[in-house]
């Protein structure tokens, strides 16, 4: 697995080197920013479980990481983010125009690379997931700054912005192995539930983690106008004073002295953290249960362990 991931890195570097210098500089900076390569690893493991190993899995692993990188660049532009993984974001270094175009190039290059497989089913999966991700961005723009976001809307957003890419990675492993539709769907379900668990943990870290570990300030989502599931749960039992406090931050997109401490206190006090964490564990269990009944091997054991790894991460 380590060797295959190294080959994925080589493929990404090769693709990035084909860009003009203005794009390659941005792409290289973001790609080398310390990501865990979860998505290509998930694709490689899923392909191995379904009985496929080879250049195509390496190539598609690179495709998925390039798509992910493009979304990070675009997300930071939309959010006006100054940091990404503890470093200055691409938009803060090169500006919005260059960053958006670099993200666009990465999207197009990833599809050009996928086209080399000459497999329409692969393109079906990639088109569907990229449409979902764009729709997720539009949904998020509609929900930004709103205190009335529902748990259903929050989970739909989590699927479209995060879990659909996990789902596509796992599904493509089955597609490469030419598995039947039932196995393909089972793998897609595995990735979807794992991705939802991942995003819930990400939401929780915004309330519970050390800023030095997550590479951004605590309560960064709220400062950006985003109401995530732990806060939704807390607001359901909040009093008028607490709701007004959150509404003020959403309106100002900034914290007055003492506001972060008060918000963290009431979110942690009412059981919202535990409730959201329990849901993340439930999604992780559903991911494990979705794995097709293949013979026990190293790939299945690794995929079975991935949801627990996602639950236990600190950044």
Write out pLDDT tens, residues 42-57. 999 999 999 999 999 9
The confidence score (pLDDT) of residue 298 equals 94
pLDDT the model gives residue 296: 82
What is the model's pLDDT at position 107? Answer: 94
Model confidence at 191: pLDDT above 80: yes
Residue 217's pLDDT band, with cuts at 50, 70 and 90, is low
pLDDT at residue 193, as a whole number:
98
Share of the chain above pLDDT 90, in %: 80
pLDDT band at 1 (very low <50, low <70, confident <90, very high): confident
Q: Which residue has the higher pLDDT, 194 or 218?
A: 194
SS (H, E, C) 177-193: CCCCHHHHHHHHHHHHH
> What pLDDT is attached to residue 261?
92
pLDDT at 215: 53
Cβ neighbours for 38, distance < 8 A, ≥ 6 positions apart: 166, 198
pTM: 0.94
Residue 216: what pLDDT? Answer: 58
Mean pLDDT of the chain: 92
Does 79 have pLDDT greater than 90? no
pLDDT at 276: 97
Q: Provide the token pair at 103.
A: 């993200």
Q: What confidence tier does 211 reach under pLDDT thresholds 50, 70, 90?
A: low
pLDDT at 212: 57
pLDDT at residue 270, as a whole number: 86
| Total residue count of the chain as it appears in this document | 315
Beta bridge partners of 88: 83
How do the domains of the chain map onto residue ranges?
Answer: 2-312
pLDDT level of residue 197 (50, 70, 90 thresholds): very high
Contact 201, 311 (CB under 8 A): yes
Q: In which band, very low, low, confident or very high, does the pLDDT at 115 lie, cut at 50, 70 and 90? A: very high
pLDDT tens readout for residues 130-171: 999 999 999 999 999 999 999 999 999 999 999 999 999 999
Q: Phi and psi at residue 295, in whole multiples of 5°?
A: -60, 145
What average pLDDT does this structure show over 228-250?
95
Instruction: Please determine, looking at this structure, whether the domain spanning 2-312 carries the CATH number 3.50.50.100.
Output: no
Cα within 13 Å of Cα(71), Cβ side: 20
Calculate the alpha carbon distances from 9 to 15, 37, 60 in Å. 10, 9, 12
- DSSP letter for each residue of 48-73: HHTT--SHHHHHHHHHHHHHHHHHHH
């Amino acid at each position: 697995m380590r060797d295959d991931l190294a080959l994925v890195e080589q493929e990404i570097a090769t693709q990035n080197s084909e860009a003009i210098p203005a794009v390659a500089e941005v792409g290289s900076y973001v790609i080398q920013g310390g990501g865990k390569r979860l998505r290509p690893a998930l694709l490689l493991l899923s392909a191995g479980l379904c009985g496929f190993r080879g250049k195509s899995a390496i190539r598609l692993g690179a495709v998925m990481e390039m798509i992910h990188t493009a979304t990070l660049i675009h997300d930071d532009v939309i959010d006006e983010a100054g940091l990404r993984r503890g470093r200055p974001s691409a938009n803060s270094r090169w500006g919005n125009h260059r960053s958006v175009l670099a993200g666009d190039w990465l999207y197009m290059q990833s599809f050009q690379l996928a086209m080399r497989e000459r497999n329409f089913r692969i393109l079906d999966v990639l088109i569907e997931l990229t449409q979902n991700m764009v729709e997720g961005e539009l949904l998020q723009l509609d929900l930004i700054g709103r205190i009335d976001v529902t748990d259903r809307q929050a989970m739909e957003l989590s699927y479209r912005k995060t879990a659909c890419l996990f789902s596509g990675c796992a599904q493509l492993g089955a597609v490469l192995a030419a598995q039947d539709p039932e196995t393909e769907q089972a793998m897609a379900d595995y990735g979807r539930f794992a991705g939802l668990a991942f995003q819930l943990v990400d939401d929780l870290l915004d309330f519970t983690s050390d800023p030095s570990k997550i590479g951004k300030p605590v309560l960064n989502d709220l400062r950006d106008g985003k109401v995530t599931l732990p806060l939704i749960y807390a607001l359901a039992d909040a009093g008028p004073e607490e709701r007004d406090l959150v509404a003020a931050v959403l309106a100002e997109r900034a914290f007055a002295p003492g506001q972060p401490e008060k918000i963290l206190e009431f979110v942690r006090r009412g059981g919202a953290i535990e409730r959201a964490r329990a849901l993340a564990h439930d999604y992780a269990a559903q991911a494990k249960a979705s794995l097709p009944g293949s013979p026990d091997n190293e790939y299945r054991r690794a995929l079975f362990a991935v949801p627990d790894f996602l639950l236990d991460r600190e950044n």
